[in-house]
């Protein structure tokens, strides 16, 4: 039976007078690929940013294997085993792709468990960027930058990775390849939580789906049930699947 590795309790975030998160409760189970969806401005990216230490929460708790990690700095969150990709691809644009990955590998956390990608070259093979190892990151097409972002996150040796719109900028063929890549991660001991607007992608990846709206969780359950929830249809899908 799966157990929760990350437990979010009553998480709140205010930006001035704007409530981005309004008391979100959420559990991510070991070995699962969880999807988080919602309209623009619903709090999805803020949720990731608070969990990973980019923003400090205004209230609530984040528990990692039962340990309270609320409000820790981003490097400390990475150090416990939580990786993160961003909507805006993060890389050193003037350096070759492989140097970007090498730098990330140098900051990998220490872990006692076996890790399948022990070199930058192995990570680039896994995400499909081996042929571009010598290219400067700044000249990569946007879709390839997304894949580089995944490689950089994996280089830190996470046991949970949060993917923020990983399929943005990818064509259909690249998206299918991404699905195949992400589905392998639980087999290597890496749980996944993914944000994306592509519902077909979510249906291929996820068994469970969480829906946010105006900073609150309005649905959480098996993806088929959630996509047929009348409230979800109203606020997110416009009444039509």
Q: pLDDT tens digits, residue range 161-195?
A: 999 999 887 888 888 999 999 999 999 999 999 99
CATH topology of domain 4-235: Rossmann fold (3.40.50)
**110 pLDDT higher than 80:** no
Q: Is residue 39 classed as helix, strand or coil in its secondary structure?
A: coil
pLDDT of residue 2: 59
Residues 90, 214, 19, 11, CA torsion sign? negative
Contact 74, 48 (CB under 8 A): no
**238 pLDDT higher than 70:** no
Q: Per-residue confidence at 112, pLDDT binned at 50, 70, 90?
A: low
d(CA 48, CA 77): 12
Give me the mean pLDDT over the 18-36 stretch: 96
Which sequence spans correspond to the domains of the chain? 4-235
Nearest by Cα to 24 from 216, 162, 213: 216
pLDDT of residue 103: 92
Contact 193, 36 (CB under 8 A): yes
Q: Per-residue confidence at 237, pLDDT binned at 50, 70, 90?
A: low
d(CA 3, CA 9): 16
Task: Please name the residues in contact with 76: beta carbons below 8 A apart, sequence gap of 6 or more.
Answer: 53, 69
pLDDT of residue 239: 45
**1 pLDDT higher than 50:** no
Residues 106, 112, 118, 120, CA torsion sign? negative
Average pLDDT taken over every residue of the chain: 90
pLDDT of residue 241: 42
pTM > 0.85: yes or no: yes
**104 pLDDT higher than 70:** yes
Q: Per-residue confidence at 224, pLDDT binned at 50, 70, 90?
A: very high
Strand partners, 105: none
- Reported in sequence order, the residue ranges of the chain that DSSP labels E, i.e. its strands, are 4-15, 18-29, 33-37, 59-64, 67-68, 82-84, 160-164, 191-195, 208-213, 216-222
Task: Please name the residues in contact with 171: beta carbons below 8 A apart, sequence gap of 6 or more.
Answer: 143
Which region holds residue 165: left if phi is over 0, alpha if psi is between -120 and 50, else beta?
A: left
- Tell me the range of 92-96, 104-108, 197-201 where mean pLDDT is highest: 92-96
d(CA 77, CA 83): 8
Give me the mean pLDDT over the 215-219 stretch: 95
């Amino acid at each position: 039976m799966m157990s929760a590795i990350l437990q979010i309790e009553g998480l709140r975030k205010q930006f001035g007078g704007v409530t981005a998160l309004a008391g979100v409760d959420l559990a991510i189970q070991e070995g699962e690929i969880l999807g988080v969806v919602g309209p623009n401005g619903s709090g999805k990216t803020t949720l990731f940013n608070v969990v990973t230490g980019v923003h400090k929460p205004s209230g609530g708790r984040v528990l990692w294997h039962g340990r309270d990690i609320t409000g820790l700095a981003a490097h400390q969150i990475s150090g416990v085993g939580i990786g993160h990709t961003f909507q805006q691809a993060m890389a050193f644009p003037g350096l070759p792709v492989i140097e970007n990955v090498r730098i990330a590998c140098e900051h990998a956390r220490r872990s006692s468990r076996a890790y399948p990608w022990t070199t930058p070259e192995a990570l680039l093979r896994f995400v499909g960027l081996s042929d571009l190892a010598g290219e400067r990151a700044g000249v990569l097409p946007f879709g390839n930058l997304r894949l580089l972002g995944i490689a950089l996150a994996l280089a830190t040796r996470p046991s949970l990775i949060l993917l923020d719109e990983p399929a943005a900028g990818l064509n259909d063929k690249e998206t299918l390849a991404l699905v195949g890549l992400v589905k392998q991660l639980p087999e290597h001991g890496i749980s996944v939580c993914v944000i994306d607007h592509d519902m077909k992608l979510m249906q291929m990846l996820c068994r469970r789906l969480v829906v946010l709206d105006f900073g609150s969780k309005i649905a959480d359950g098996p993806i088929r049930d959630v996509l047929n929830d009348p409230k979800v249809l109203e606020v997110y899908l416009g009444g039509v699947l």
